[in-house]
Amino acid sequence: MAKLPALSFNRDMRVEDKIVDATVKCFQRFGINKTSMDDIAKVAKVSRPTIYRYFPSRHHLAVEVLVREIRDHTRLVTPVLRETRYPPKAMLEGIVLAVSTAREHPYTQIVLSDAGAELLARVPGTEQSLLDAMGEQWLPSLTRWREAGYIKPSVRLDDLLLWITFYMHASIGKGRFMAITEDRMRRMLEAMLIPSVFDFDKLKVDFPDQK
């Protein structure tokens, strides 16, 4: 998360959730550029000073919207990564599921619009906030596969996490130049990403039934 100024009060997650939910509604109703803190306060049914106690600006609210979108996807993707036994298939299906559901997520086009990107760019540490949220989703499985010897030693996990993040952004962003079907996405990832990440000699020993 982007670092916020030190706060001297106990954060109430119910109030914070109301503010974030109201922000999404206002962004959708009025557009990002035309949404004011007064609009958000009215929809959230809290005072404007209360919002500023939790979030110093609309920019920080936009970061929170983005992080919560990723965490929403974590609930969908994590079971696939955890329960799919064969690591290459788990990675492939996890990425495809993340992209396909993100395209339909109500927050996606808000945070990836030009106005959303401009807001996010104004908060120092936004990139790290994004990677931290993605890490919550992916790093437990990536670390487990690395410790089992399935990921090549030459592959850095932070670089792999960054690549997955870039790929998702390119696949779901407003400016993507073509709609890629899930089948084609799987074929491309299987041919280009999977061989560069996994040690198939080790995988063949532990998963002899897999092709």
- Mind listing the pLDDT tens digit for each residue in 122-175? 777 777 877 888 888 899 999 999 999 999 999 999 999 999 988 887 787 654
Instruction: Give residue limits of the domains in the chain.
Output: 58-206
- Structural fold of domain 58-206: Tetracycline Repressor; domain 2 (1.10.357)
What's the full length of the chain, in residues? Answer: 211
Question: What are the tens digits of pLDDT across the range 21-78?
Answer: 898 888 888 887 888 899 999 999 999 999 999 988 887 887 787 777 777 777 888 8
The pTM score is: 0.75
Cα gap 129→165, rounded to integer Å = 12
Torsional class of 45: left (φ above 0), alpha (ψ -120 to 50), beta (otherwise) = left
Burial of 1 (0-12, 13-18, 19+ CB in 10 A): middle
